[in-house]
Chains A and B, each alone.
Chain A
Amino acid sequence: NAGVTQTPKFQVLKTGQSMTLQCAQDMNHNSMYWYRQDPGMGLRLIYYSASEGTTDKGEVPNGYNVSRLNKREFSLRLESAAPSQTSVYFCASSGTDRTKLSNQPQHFGDGTRLSIL
């Protein structure tokens, strides 16, 4: 099983460029998430999608947009990249049982390392 697949694994952008990070899961999960991880900050939630067709803001949504393309895919877009968005981005998914969403673990991809110059 591939689990959660993120592309690309590494990317360098110049300030002002745009980019879309891709995420796909093959576990038939309902919910998907985007986090960023910065040194000393742990993981912070950017956006999430509780189910296909819905998206909501997390803790740090400014400068990002998301699209839940279908049940498998959840993309994160940076419209105009800024140096403060240099980070490692993780996609995660969870939940096959809609009645137990709050008690299901999240499964993570291996991240996209993004540097913005």
Chain B
Amino acid sequence: SQQGEEDPQALSIQEGENATMNCSYKTSINNLQWYRQNSGRGLVHLILIRSNEREKHSGRLRVTLDTSKKSSSLLITASRAADTASYFCATAKGSNYKLTFGKGTLLTVNP
């Protein structure tokens, strides 16, 4: 069963705008990870946030985690056409290092 669920399923914005994607999950987690998948390619790890962290930054990416609401958000600032991809959240539970992936958000950045 899917642990993480992304919202929205699809998002279309103009270059330069910010993109926000949300992820909700059902059970307690050890960490939450975000991945990007370009069309026809494998997933690429973007950022990992541990359950005791509330916010993390990496370049133009900002991830927040609210364990009380069991939710996370990924913000991409000043988006570029090259950011067009599907974005997945994945959760890891306890000492179990297996990941459970959501269904993804398809982001389209129009030039």
Chain A interfacial positions (CB closer than 8 Å to B): 4, 31, 33, 35, 40-45, 48, 50, 58-59, 90, 92, 94-95, 101-111
Contact = CB atoms under 8 A, between A and B. Distances in A.
B96 A43 contact: no
Contacts of A33: 98
Interface of B: 1-2, 30-31, 33, 40-45, 48, 50, 88, 92, 94-104
B42 A102 contact: no
B98 A103 contact: no
A42 B48 contact: no
A111 B40 CA distance: 8
B43 A95 contact: no
A43 B88 contact: yes
B44 A102 contact: no
B31 A103 contact: yes
Contacts of A58: 98
A43 B48 contact: no
A102 B92 contact: yes
B19 to A, nearest CB: 19
B86 to A, nearest CB: 10
A110 B97 CA distance: 21
